[in-house]
Amino acid sequence: MMMLIDCSGCRTPLQLPHGAPCIRCAICGAVTHVAAAAPPPAHGDPARGAAGPGAVAPQHQAPGWGPPPPPAHGRKRAVICGISYKFSRHELKGCINDAKCMRHLLTTRFHFPDDSIIMLTEEQTDPYKIPTKHNIRMAMYWLVQGCQPGDSLVFHYSGHGAQQRNYSGDEVDGMDETLCPLDFETQGMIVDDEINTALVRPLTPGVKLHALIDACHSGTALDLPFLCRMNRSGQYVWEDHRPRSGVWKGTSGGECISFSGCDDDQTSADTSALSKITSTGAMTFCFIQAIERGQGTTYGSILTSMRSTIRSTGDSMGSGGGAVTSLITMLLTGGSVNSGGLKQDPQLTANEPFDVYAKPFSL
């Protein structure tokens, strides 16, 4: 059983193996010591504060969302996060629709049990299921905790994404990608280094995690080591994004594959141009459509289908484009802006390279 504590340096939640006296943070390098006399609590949030000089008491365990977790082996679990930022100048129209559609896809097409899915949206009445920074962190921890061979895990995020300067030298473009929780203006954003530590590093052999990130600047949002660089003809090469510092960004033997809405320097659309009925995230809509139309046999077929749909929609929209949800632009303008069509290229990243046209897709 792993316990979650906050790093004494940067306050990032860290997974502490049972009985370990301390843990080093992969992000800031600080060593956090845990008092041996402070065992993990049985329920709820434990008391905060130090238990001695240089010691930090355990901070919290994942809250018990809903029913008991499913059986220990062969589990299917998912965290689905849709944030509309309602009543703010950053408001998005399609993200909660994305979350509901993704849940329907997982339960009907891929047979995920209802009680194995955590939905984080502003519509939730349970305070643990509002998509705040703390709740998203805890949901990520819940998703991977105790993972076993045969587990299939899904993390879906639809909301704002952004970038910030990277000072550790582990980013090819010098920028960290971030997700923007509901309370990002007061609590800050969730950086790709933390997402990698929380979702990617804990994956052990036999465990598979798929991430679907429908946000701006999301190409390498999980900081995975390899990116599939594909051209318009469907030809591709795997780019090596492993940090020059040697910091390990892969799994602990498991498998992690991520679809994202656009490249790191692009924005993702929140638009009604695709469904013709209601607003959706372009990436989520095109991913679900690829599956429903039988184009989800391989990772390559999904990626090419998504790109083709967005490209054809963008061309047909001309100058009457939908709203592009660039957080930076919205901060400057106070709202969504119109674009000359959809200009985004969904991306595929993974913990190791593979033949995208030969590897079958499955959840």
The residues annotated as belonging to the active site are 160, 216
SS percent in the chain: helix, strand, coil, step 5: 25, 25, 55
Which of 179, 154, 68, 160 is closest to 103 using CA atoms? 154
Tokens of 168: 């550790």
Where do we find the tokens 């077929």?
A: 301
In sequence order, which residues have a C-beta less than 8 Å from that of residue 309 and are 6 or more positions away?
274, 286, 289, 290
Rounded Cα–Cα distance for residues 342 and 316 (Å): 9
Rounded Cα–Cα distance for residues 212 and 281 (Å): 11
Exposed/middle/buried for residue 124 (C-beta within 10 Å: 0-12, 13-18, 19+): middle
DSSP classification of residue 145: T
Which of 74, 43, 44, 104 is closest to 284 using CA atoms? 104
DSSP classification of residue 37: T
Rounded Cα–Cα distance for residues 232 and 217 (Å): 20
Q: Are strands 226-230 and 347-350 parallel, antiparallel or unpaired?
A: antiparallel
